[in-house]
Amino acid sequence: MFKIATTPKMMEDAYNIRKEVFVREQGVPLENEIDEHENIATHVVGYDKKDIPFATGRFRPYKDGVKIERVAIIKTHRNSGLGKLLMSFLEEVAINKNYRNLMLNAQYHARPFYESLGYHTIGEIFLEENIEHIAMIKKI
């Protein structure tokens, strides 16, 4: 179901999911969505039983751990538990790379979801791409 992106096609699948969710649905400018961290990040893509890409996320080295970013699931596959599976897979891959400190900037409305996975808020709400976010951390 979830795989580390290792081919140009898998990277294209990840970008297309992000464009659908962040650019089309949430109005993030494309030039801000694709950034300078693409080449250093570990990207993950989720494929359903029909081999249709439905989810993506990435992480990159950050401070004394990793920063999880660009977590997205297409609308047709939301609210079915797949977000938890995606996050578990991202965390497993990070652990396998010997990272224990996880950080992310959650969209504020998704804070309860990340809290249910063991993340804790730090700091205050801030705007990123005109969307309220909150920094969150988890130690494994």
Domains in the chain: ranges and CATH: 2-139 (3.40.630.30)
Q: What are phi and psi of 74, to 5 degrees?
A: -65, 150
25 by DSSP, 3-state: which?
helix
Inter-residue contact 54 to 77 (CB < 8 Å): yes
Q: Average pLDDT per run of 10 along the chain, which is 140 residues long?
A: 97 97 94 93 96 97 96 94 96 95 96 97 95 96
What's the pLDDT at 20? 97
What's the pLDDT at 47? 97
What does the alpha-carbon distance between residue 125 and residue 132 come to, in Å, rounded to a whole number? Answer: 6
Q: What is the pTM of this model?
A: 0.94
Q: Looking up tokens 């999911």, which residue turns up? A: 17
What's the pLDDT at 2? 98
